[in-house]
Amino acid sequence: MLEDLLLQGAQPNYADNIRAIAARWEALIPPARLGDLESGDLQAGIVSILESGEVTDDVILTIAGDLASLSWWRGPPLRDDHRARLNALTRARLTRLADSLEMAPRKLPRSQLRRSHVLLVGNLLDPLHSPSGGAIDYAAALASDTAVSRVEIVHSGEVLPAMRTYIEARLGGFPASRGVALVSTRDNPDFLADILSRGPCTFHVWCEPALSPAISLVSRLGPTLMFTCADEAPVQFADVYWYFQSEAHIEKVWKAHAAPQEFIDRYVRILALPSPEPRPLEPMSRASIGLPEDAFVIATVGNRLGVEMDEAYITGIELALRSQPKAVWMVVGGLPDYLLGAFEQVLGDRFLHVPFSRELDRLMTTVDLFANPFRAGGGNSANIAVGAGAAVLSLSRGDVSSLVPDSFIASDPEEYFRYLGFLMDSPELLAAVKAEQGQHNARMRDQGLFLKEIQGLVRLAADRYEARGCGAPLSTTVFAPLTRLAQAG
């Protein structure tokens, strides 16, 4: 069965989502093709089906989005060539959809664009879900500008009580004149028409699903800024893309994903991130969670660790533990039973598993070193760890490497574990790295700096919106080659 295939190697906490994908694919994929998926390379099979002309544009977007989710929930990561083909395929269809809007180019008043902001944020799930908490922090930064009169947060799905409490805490204190409001796409399918009725605005794309048609639609309606992360090239157009990686790093990885040069040229590196105001942390005692007071504590944190920790990473951590008699490995997050059992059996009391913590910041005060797996994500956990006083070790790719200075950013696994040995053996070096990374983290959390940088990007987006014809069709004003590709599709 397709369901059994997709569940192989999956993180247990994503099993229900994966079952839903399996049911959806069985309904959308031609039956004759399902057998091909079960007997061959899943990624290659899906790309072949989507390129075959046998399925509609809507199905292409749905299945491509599902495949991207599976790469996070069960692995393996999408190969660069598969990602490039999927991005080209979906980009052409989304551009064609946006260009189907029957609208004339509109020159928009600059003053209104600076005052009015609309954020597309996807689901608002829980404050501990970094895209959800970050969306509200982003809105709070915009609303802190006294000249702003409109901050609308466009989201999908239900907002649960914990998330509502966080929204009230972060946004409830702003006066009505700031125009802070939630807009549900579920409750209001015509949300774009309503947004336009309230006047021109700047659009901000923050963790909206990568293939959401709304992204390409709003790029026709006004200037757009898009947050990018995890070294993934964007599929859809924005006037400005922003993140914390260097321009050279972004150019390298986006080219590998066959991103248009027009996208690469629109990327801007900024130096601060949306963040809640730091709160005083009451350190958690090691004894309260079963850690020896004199242990060297290595932490690994994540929701998808069964997928993200590969053999090289696990073997390296085990060897590091054996080299340092007082080292303990604390893993925070769900683990498949086979991995949990193996760690407990092999490592014994040198291993501590914390399935979930709502006080991750306090838990990280017990940690000496946050050892990031060889993954693209993990930025929020690493940010929390540095803020709690731990040092961070990462490879030179993905979110975590963008959030700490170059000290102990490793180029490959061999160098990574050599650095880990240095930090375990030298308390003075560990203290110096913690201090350097802590100072860098404090600057990144400066919300005044973040607002200043976003304001600059808003002005840049307005300039680029005008330069591309004030909402003229993307296929002719941004990247003419897509016209041919869309017609061919």
CATH number at residue 360: 3.40.50.2000
Return the half-sphere exposure (C-beta side, CA atoms, 13 A cut-off) of residue 167. Answer: 17
Angle between helices 413-425 and 427-444 (to 10 degrees): 110
Predicted confidence at residue 376, as pLDDT, reads 93
Q: Is the peptide bond before 76 cis (omega within 30 degrees of 0)?
A: yes
Q: Is residue 94 included in any domain, yes or no?
A: no
Q: Are residues 266 and 123 in the same domain?
A: yes
Cβ–Cβ < 8 Å for 138, 119: yes
Predicted confidence at residue 39, as pLDDT, reads 65
Domain count, the chain: 3
Q: Are residues 434 and 304 in the same domain?
A: yes
Q: Are residues 37 and 174 in the same domain?
A: no
Q: Is residue 96 included in any domain, yes or no?
A: no
Q: Are residues 160 and 304 in the same domain?
A: no
Range of the domain at 373: 287-444
Q: Is residue 83 included in any domain, yes or no?
A: no
Q: How far is CA 245 from CA 208, 313, 406, 419, in A?
A: 20, 23, 12, 22
Q: Is residue 184 included in any domain, yes or no?
A: yes
Q: Are residues 436 and 460 in the same domain?
A: no
373 vs 375: CA distance, rounded Å: 6
Q: Are residues 203 and 352 in the same domain?
A: no
Predicted confidence at residue 480, as pLDDT, reads 62
φ and ψ at 201, to 5 degrees? -155, 165
Q: Are residues 62 and 154 in the same domain?
A: no
User: Which one of 78, 98, 133 terminates a domain?
Assistant: 78
488 vs 475: CA distance, rounded Å: 13
User: Which residues have CB under 8 Å from 382's CB, separation 6+?
Assistant: 370, 372, 392, 394, 399, 400, 403, 404
CB atoms closer than 10 angstroms to residue 8:
10
Predicted confidence at residue 481, as pLDDT, reads 52
Q: Are residues 299 and 440 in the same domain?
A: yes
Tell me whether residue 347 is exposed, middle or buried, using C-beta atoms within 10 angstroms of its C-beta: 0 to 12, 13 to 18, 19 or more.
Answer: middle
Q: Are residues 473 and 428 in the same domain?
A: no
- The DSSP-derived string for 98-139 is HHTS--------HHHHHHEEEEEEEE---TTSHHHHHHHHHH
CB atoms closer than 10 angstroms to residue 154:
26
Q: Are residues 253 and 368 in the same domain?
A: no
Q: Are residues 136 and 263 in the same domain?
A: yes
The pTM score is 0.94
User: Which one of 30, 54, 78 terminates a domain?
Assistant: 78
CATH number at residue 472: 3.40.50
Q: Are residues 319 and 417 in the same domain?
A: yes
Cβ–Cβ < 8 Å for 257, 83: yes
Q: Is residue 336 included in any domain, yes or no?
A: yes
- pLDDT per residue rounded down to tens, the chain (489 residues): 899 999 988 888 899 999 999 999 999 999 888 887 876 789 999 999 999 999 999 999 999 999 999 999 998 899 999 999 999 999 999 999 999 988 889 999 999 999 999 999 999 999 989 999 999 999 999 999 999 999 999 999 899 999 999 999 999 999 999 999 999 999 999 999 999 999 999 999 999 999 999 999 999 999 999 999 999 999 999 999 999 999 999 999 999 999 999 999 999 999 999 999 888 889 999 999 999 999 999 999 999 999 999 999 999 999 999 999 999 999 999 999 999 999 999 999 999 999 999 999 999 999 999 999 999 999 999 999 999 999 999 999 999 999 999 888 999 999 999 999 999 999 999 999 999 999 999 999 999 999 999 999 999 999 999 999 999 999 888 866 544 444 444
Q: Is residue 89 included in any domain, yes or no?
A: no
Q: Is residue 251 included in any domain, yes or no?
A: yes
For the chain, the distance separating the N- and C-terminal CA atoms, rounded to the nearest angstrom, is 31
Cβ–Cβ < 8 Å for 333, 305: yes
User: Which one of 444, 464, 480 terminates a domain?
Assistant: 444
Q: Is residue 132 included in any domain, yes or no?
A: yes
